[in-house]
Amino acid sequence: MGSKPLDLPFDPIERAGEIWEDTFGPASAMRVATSVMRAQQILLARYDEILRPYELTFARYEALVLLRFSRRGALPMKVIGSRLMVHPTSATNTIERLAAAGLVVRQPNPDDGRGVIAAITERGRALVEAATAELMAADFGLSALPEPDRTAVFAALRRIRADAGDFKAGS
């Protein structure tokens, strides 16, 4: 499952790190950054494979989960964009595609005459429940990491996100 294995006889990131050190100096930051980007590619390929039968991308899945988690099953578009940490145009595009598939409905925002609320439909709820069950059965593609490693990776990446201003540290 996931992206096609490269089956290289060596770790190309480690090799690049060795050359980097000889050429530019310390390579630990480059190795970590490149590894994170490669891991993202691998995980997204795995998620795409799992979500394909549901006709979902991971971005659309995330939007459905966000709506599923909301108290009323509905959120204003600007909240969706900020919670998903995407540009408002991307959020609009995602919701439009979900609406076209009958998984979400767009409604006028009663608190903002020009705003729009996206609400998950019963079909959307059923689909996100089924897709989530499959992602969880696949351990979100992270079965190679035991729980203590997952906790450590999350903590390290959380520090990067906090430093970038994704949220107020201590939240």
Tens digit of each residue's pLDDT (9 = 90 or more) over 40-94: 999 999 999 999 999 999 999 999 999 999 999 999 999 999 999 999 999 999 9
CB within 8 A of 65, min separation 6: which ones? 128, 132
Instruction: Report whether pLDDT(3) > 70.
Output: no
CA 108: distance to chain centroid? Answer: 27
pLDDT for res 161? 93
pLDDT, one tens digit per residue, over 104-154 is 999 998 888 788 999 999 999 999 999 999 999 999 999 999 999 999 999
pLDDT for res 80? 96
Tell me what the pLDDT averaged over the chain comes to. Answer: 94
Of the two residues 6 and 19, the one the predictor is more confident about is 19
CB within 8 A of 114, min separation 6: which ones? none
Q: Which domains does the chain have, with CATH numbers?
A: 1-53 (no CATH), 55-137 (1.10.10.10)
Q: What is the mean pLDDT of residues 8-25?
A: 97
CB 92 within 8 A of CB 77: yes
> How many Cα atoms occupy the beta-carbon half-sphere of 66 within 13 Å?
25
Query: Quick one: which H or E segment has residue 33?
Result: helix 28-51
Q: CA-to-CA distance for 117 and 110, rounded, in angstroms?
A: 9
pLDDT for res 154? 97
Longest dimension (CA), the chain: 62
Nearest to 58 by CA among 89, 32, 86, 100: 86
pTM (2 decimals)?
Answer: 0.88
pLDDT classification of 168: cutoffs 50, 70, 90: confident
Write out the E strands in 2-90.
Answer: 74-76
